[in-house]
Amino acid sequence: MSNDLVLRVIGRLLIPFILLFALYVQFHGDFGPGGGFQAGVIIAAGLIFFALTHGVNTVRKVVPDWLVETMVASGVLIYAGVGLAGLLFGGNYLDYFVLDHNPVHGQHRGIFWVEVGVATTVSGVMLKIYYMFASRSGLED
Amino acid sequence: MSLAQHLPALQVVLPLISAPLAVLLRRGGLAFVIVTSAAWTAFAIAITLWLQVDTGGTISYHIGNWEPPWGIEYRIDRLNSFVLVLVSGMAAVVLPYSRASIEREIPRESHYLFYAMLGLCFTGLLGITITGDAFNLFVFLEISSLSTYVLIALGRDRRALTASYQYLIMGSIGATFIVIAIGFLYLMTGTLNLADMANNLSAIKSTRPVLVALAFFTVGVSLKAALFPLHQWLPNAYTYAPSAVTALLAATATKVSLYALIRFYFTIFGDSLVFDKLPLPEIMLLLSLFAMFVANFVAIFQTNLKRLFAYSSVGQIGYITLGLSFDSVHGLAASIMHLFNHGIAKGGIFLLVGGIVATLTTRQGIPPAPTFERLAGLAKQMPITCFGIVIGGLSLIGVPGTAGFISKWYLILAAMEKGQWWLVGAILLSSLLAIAYVWRFVEVAYFRAQPVDQVSRGEASLSLLIPAWLLITATIWFGFDTSFTVGSALDAAHQLMRSAR
C-alpha cells in the first residue's frame, strides 16, 4: 500500500484536515458530541493513516517512541493534576468549582484540562499499540 | 485547607500518580523510589484513616464536591478501613522486596514499567476497597485486573503468557458479570451510590432483576476471588508470575474481591435477601467445603512449591466463604479476620519462596521452578528461609500462637453457635490436610539428603529476607496480640450485620 501514489498524495492532503478535525472535536466537546477520547482517537488515526501510506519508520521520525510513551503517562498526570489543583484551591479532589472565581467557569476550566489529558493519553496509547504491532518481525516495511 | 480531610482521596491518588511518573522517569531506580514512597505513604494514610474511623466513625468524602447520590462518594467504615491497611501494608512490604527480586526475573530495560504496573495494581485494589460507588468500583476493578494480567505475563517462564491469558479470559468474564449486575441494579434503583442503592432496594428486594443482579454479581466476584470451582486460573497465575507479584496477588487481589462480595451482600442486598430467601448459604457452605478439602488435597500432591501454596490459597479462600455462609457476627468476623491473617501468612510464604527462586537462578538465566527435587536438603543451606516457611505453614494449619489459629478459632466458635458440630470436625479435618502439605516441604527441606552434584548455595540476600520475615513476624504477632485484627473484624461484623438487618 505504501507504494500507491494516489493514496500517498491524497493522504498528505487529508492528514492536516484530519488533525484539524480532531482539534474541533476536542474543543467542541463541552457543547456537543465529542471530547478528549474521540479527539485522541482521531489524532492517532490520522498518524496511523500516514504510517500506512508512508511506512511506520517515517512516522517514527515525527512521533518517536519516547514521545509516545511520554504522552501515555503525561495525559494521566494532567488529569490527576487537575484533581490535585482542586485540592490546592481549597476544594475536594477533582473539585472544579474552585478553579475560578465563577464556579461555572471553574467547571469549564476543569473539564477542559481533563479532556486535554484524556486526548493525550488516548492518542498515545493508540499509537503505542500500532507501533508495537507494526514493528513485529515479518510485518516491517 | 487541612490535608487530613482529603486523606480518602489521597489514599488512591498518590499511588495513581506514582505510576505515570514511573513511566516518565524511565529509569528503574527512580521509578522504584517513586512507587515505593507512594506505597509507604499510602500505608501511613491507611493507618491514619483506620484511627480516624476508630474514633470518629464512618468517613464520607465527596469527589468533586458533588453530593453523594449524584457524585462519587468514598465511604470508609470499619470494614474497608481494615482492608485498606492490609492492601497498602502488603504493597509497602512487597515493593522494597521487588527490587532485588526482579533483578534476575525481568529484563532491566522494562523495570520501570514493572513498577508502574505494580503502582496501578495496588491503586486499583485500594480504589475497590475505598469507593462507595458501584461503577467506580468496577473501574478500579478493571485497573487492578488489567495491570495484574501484565504483571503475570512479565514472568520469565514462557508459560507465564498462557497463565496470564487464561486469567485474562476468566477475569474478563468475571468483570463482565459484575458490570451486568451493576447495570441491573442501576436499572432498578436509578442510583450508583452503594448506600443509596441499599435504601432504594429495600422495597423491591425480591423482584427478578434484583435476583439476577445478585446471581451475576456472585458468580463474577467468585471468579475474581477464585472460589472453588472457579479457581482454575489461580494456580498457573501464581506459579509463573514473578515472585513479588505472586506475593502481592496472593495477599491482596483475591482478598479485595472477597471484600467486594461481603460489601454487596451485607450493605446492599441485605442478608434477608441473600441468606433467608435463597439457598445461597447452603450453596456457599458446600463450595467452601469443596474448596477446603479438594484444593487442600490437591495441594498435597504438587511437586512445585509455588503451585502447592497456590492450591493452598484456594483452600484458604474456602474458610473465608465458610465464615460468610454462617450469617452470624462471629462467622462474618472470622471471614474478615482470615482475609488479613491469611494475607500476611501467604504473602510472607511467597516472598520466602521467591528468595529460594532467586538463589536457584543463575545470572541472566531463566528462574527454575522451585520443584521438590531441587529443594532437597535446603534447610542446611537456607535455614532462615526454610524456618520462615515452616512458621507461615503453621499459620496456614492454624496452630495456636499463629494468626491462622485466631481466625480458625472464631470460625469454630461460629459453627458451634449454629450447633453444627460436624462442621467443627470438617474444619479440623481439613487442617490435617494442611499439615500434610506443609509436612511435605519439611520432609524434603529438612530430612532429605542434598543431591551430591548440587552446587552449594547460600542464604537469600537480606533485602529479600527482611520484608519476608516482617510478614512472618506479623503472623506470630497477630497470633498473640489480637486487639487489632479481632477488634476491627468484630466491629466491622457488628456494623455490617446492623446495616444488613
Q: Are A63 and B33 in contact (CB under 8 A)?
A: no
Residue numbers in A near B20 (CB within 8 A):
72-74, 76-77, 80
Q: How many domains is chain B partitioned into structurally? A: 1
Each domain of chain A, given as residue ranges in start order, spans 5-134
Residue numbers in A near B13 (CB within 8 A):
80, 83-84, 93
B361 found inside a domain: yes
- Distance of alpha carbon B84 from alpha carbon B326, whole angstroms: 25
pLDDT of A138: 55
Three-state DSSP class for residue B371: strand
Nearest to B426 by CA among B406, B437, B411, B404: B411
B15 found inside a domain: no
Nearest to B335 by CA among B270, B257, B272, B279: B257
Three-state DSSP class for residue B131: strand
What DSSP assignment string belongs to B59-122?
Answer: EEEEGGG--TTTS-EEEE-HHHHHHHHHHHHHHHHHHHHHHHHHTTTS-GGGHHHHHHHHHHHH
pLDDT tops 90 at residue B3? no
Q: Are B9 and A93 in contact (CB under 8 A)?
A: yes
B456 found inside a domain: yes
pLDDT average, residue stretch B51-64: 89
Pairing of strands B73-76, B59-62: antiparallel
List all residues 6 or more positions away from B203 whose beta carbon is below 8 Å from its beta carbon: none
pLDDT tops 70 at residue A140? no
Residue B44 to chain A, least CA–CA distance (Å):
19
Question: Do B6 and A92 count as a contact with CB atoms less than 8 A apart?
Answer: yes
Owning domain of residue B430: 279-501
Among A14-28, B275-289, B299-313, the least confident range: B275-289
pLDDT of B90: 94
Q: For residue B193, give the DSSP letter.
A: B
Q: Are B435 and B397 in contact (CB under 8 A)?
A: yes
Q: Are A137 and A95 in contact (CB under 8 A)?
A: no
- Distance of alpha carbon B399 from alpha carbon B431, whole angstroms: 9
- Distance of alpha carbon B274 from alpha carbon B265, whole angstroms: 7
Question: Do A80 and B26 count as a contact with CB atoms less than 8 A apart?
Answer: no
Q: Taking all residues of chain B, what is their mean pLDDT, rounded to a whole number?
A: 89
Q: Are B500 and B387 in contact (CB under 8 A)?
A: no
pLDDT tops 90 at residue B357? no
> Model confidence over B158-172: pLDDT tens digits?
888 999 999 999 999
Whether residue A100 lies within 8 A of chain B, CB to CB, comes out as no
B305 found inside a domain: yes
B322 found inside a domain: yes
pLDDT average, residue stretch B86-91: 94
pLDDT average, residue stretch B274-283: 81
pLDDT of B229: 86
pLDDT of B364: 63
* Residue percentage of chain B with pLDDT more than 90: 60
Nearest to B354 by CA among B473, B239, B244: B244
pLDDT tops 80 at residue B149? yes
Model confidence band, residue A141 (pLDDT cutoffs 50, 70, 90)? very low
Q: Which phi and psi angles does A2 have, rounded to 5°?
A: -70, -10
Question: Do A70 and B17 count as a contact with CB atoms less than 8 A apart?
Answer: no
Residue numbers in B near A87 (CB within 8 A):
1, 6, 9
B293 found inside a domain: yes
HEC string of A68-135 equals HHHHHHHHHHHHHHHHHHHHHCCCCCCCCHHHCCCHHHHHHHHHHHHHHHHHHHHHHHHHHHHHHHHC
- Distance of alpha carbon A120 from alpha carbon A77, whole angstroms: 10
* Residue percentage of chain B with pLDDT more than 70: 97
Whether residue B61 lies within 8 A of chain A, CB to CB, comes out as yes
What ipTM was reported for this prediction? 0.88
> Model confidence over B435-473: pLDDT tens digits?
999 999 999 888 888 776 666 677 888 888 999 999 999
Strand partners, B76: B59
**Among positive and negative, which fits the CA dihedral B311, B313, B315, B321?**
negative
List all residues 6 or more positions away from A59 whose beta carbon is below 8 Å from its beta carbon: A47, A48, A50, A51
How many residues does the structure list for chain B?
Answer: 501
Whether residue A96 lies within 8 A of chain B, CB to CB, comes out as yes
- Distance of alpha carbon B370 from alpha carbon B94, whole angstroms: 20
pLDDT of B456: 63
Q: For residue A59, give the DSSP letter.
A: H
pLDDT tops 50 at residue A139? no
